[in-house]
Amino acid sequence: MSRENSIVYAVEDLVYGVNGKRILSGVDFSVNAGEFVSVIGPNGAGKSTLLRLLVRTIKPRSGKILLFGRELSGYRQRDIALKVGYVPQSSPDYVPFTALQFVLMGRYPASNPLVRPGAEDAKAAMEILDKVGLADFAQRRVDTLSGGERQKVFIAAALAQTPEALLLDEPTTFLDPKHQADIREILLRLNRDNGMTVIAVSHDINFAVMSGGRAVALREGRVFNDGAVGDLIGGGRLEELFSTDFEYVSHASGEKLVLPRKKNGCG
């Protein structure tokens, strides 16, 4: 099977819950190699939970997750890390390592833990830092960087695993507009130029719109819509998903951006 036609993830009837509360119910979807998929939906829809299930930091109650055709439960965690890079929503503020050291640690799945990183490892880490625009920050401690710069380092560390897919949970949350645009462009470039499969959870509808590709929309733990992002724009589907009204504004790119509609008596 060619890489272009291979299925990275196949999720079948996935169910997950905690303390008797069901968070995901009967979730089904698949992701092909080279796709850019935005996972969107209201708060509490199960988006972050789904991502954690895909990298097996938690395990489902029932259902199947196949990674490259093999059940996720059959992988060692180290082998998952060789195939999938993961950038969680919450990253530590205190990171007493330089950007270069932190990215080098990201190479652990493919390296011998008993052997110190060598010149080739350092060269590869520097190339990755350059790819995310942080080569000049290699010797800066991560916890002295801005939030946007730290997020780029965390993405670089995930890329150091040399994965075939990159999963990110709210990659632009709390970032200023410049770094939001930078992160989105980094992900689009990885997807477009390197064929990287990207699955990104976002509560920002416009992140999905500007990223293009496909949107898997979750509502109350189920797949509400799965298709091109544009399919949700207009026709009332987005309003139904988020239980609110929206205005649609034309962007210079030709896309329609989404703004919550101001309610009478507000503002």
Q: Does 207 fall in a domain?
A: yes
Q: Does 186 fall in a domain?
A: yes
Q: Does 239 fall in a domain?
A: yes
Closest CA relative to residue 238, chosen from 212, 221, 257, 210? 257
Q: Does 100 fall in a domain?
A: no
Domain total of the chain: 1
d(CA 173, CA 15): 27
Closest CA relative to residue 153, chosen from 164, 137, 167? 137
Q: Does 240 fall in a domain?
A: yes
Amino acid type, 220? E
User: In this predicted model, what pLDDT tens digit does every residue of 154-197 receive, in sequence order?
Assistant: 999 999 999 999 999 999 988 999 999 999 999 999 999 999 99
Q: Does 132 fall in a domain?
A: no
CB 46 within 8 A of CB 203: no
CATH code for the domain of 202: 3.40.50.300
Q: Does 147 fall in a domain?
A: no
Find all residues with CB under 8 Å of 39, minimum gap 6, and list them: 47, 50, 51, 199, 200, 201, 202, 215, 216, 217, 218
Residue 24, phi-psi category: left (phi > 0), alpha (psi -120 to 50), beta (remainder): beta
Q: What is the pLDDT along the chain (267 residues), one digit of tens a residue?
A: 334 449 999 999 999 999 889 999 999 999 999 999 999 999 999 999 999 999 999 999 999 999 999 999 999 999 999 999 999 987 777 789 999 999 999 887 666 555 567 788 899 999 999 999 999 999 999 999 999 999 999 999 999 999 999 999 999 988 999 999 999 999 999 999 999 999 999 988 999 998 988 999 999 999 999 999 888 887 889 999 999 999 988 877 778 888 888 765 555
Find the domain containing 205 and state its range: 3-94+162-260
